[in-house]
Amino acid sequence: ATAADVQYWTKLMQAGLTEQHFEAALLASNEFYQLAGHTPDLWLDAVYTRLFGRAPDSSGLTHWLDDLDAGKTRYYVAARIAGSKENSTWIVSQGYGQFGITPPAGETQFNPTAASQTSASLGEPTIAWDQVYADEAWGL
């Protein structure tokens, strides 16, 4: 990303753009679509891999392909997938997993402060979550 890109998205996030919508915008971008293989099914496979670390199940793939065929935009589909309970659960498990700990029962949002405190209390090195997030590649 260029400095101008970072500045653009930073301003939008400061103005209230949610992480879900930011993620959906990146996943729906022409660049991501091209990298994924430039077909709806390959794009959905890349979205699922990016968000969940797995390929879409057949019913999910069919559902989202039907939405795209019906004229729904890639952004609409990406936002619905990014806003799913599965994605929230995945984010929580991956976030806490970076600290080598299991998320607290019923945790619905990743709390980097609590995770780093828990990790530190276990005698493990504290990880800078913002650096982990910044290091994560958006490419395929």
Phi, psi of 16 (to 5 degrees): 120, 0
**Contact predicate 95/104, CB 8 Å:** no
Amino acid at residue number 54: R
Give the position of tokens 């794009």.
Answer: 43
Contact yes or no for 60/80 (Cβ under 8 A): no
Q: pTM of the entire structure?
A: 0.63
Amino acid at 95: G
Alpha-carbon distance 110 to 120, whole Å?
Answer: 16
What is the tens place of the pLDDT at every residue in 24-76? 889 999 999 999 999 999 999 999 998 888 899 999 999 999 999 999 999 99
CA–CA dist 78, 19 (Å, integer)? 12
**Span 97-113, pLDDT tens digits:** 666 666 666 655 555 55
Task: Give Cβ neighbours of residue 46 (< 8 Å, ≥ 6 apart).
Answer: 32, 35, 36, 37, 140
Nearest Cα to Cα of residue 64 among 52, 86, 79, 49:
79
Cα 87 from Cα 68, distance rounded (Å): 20
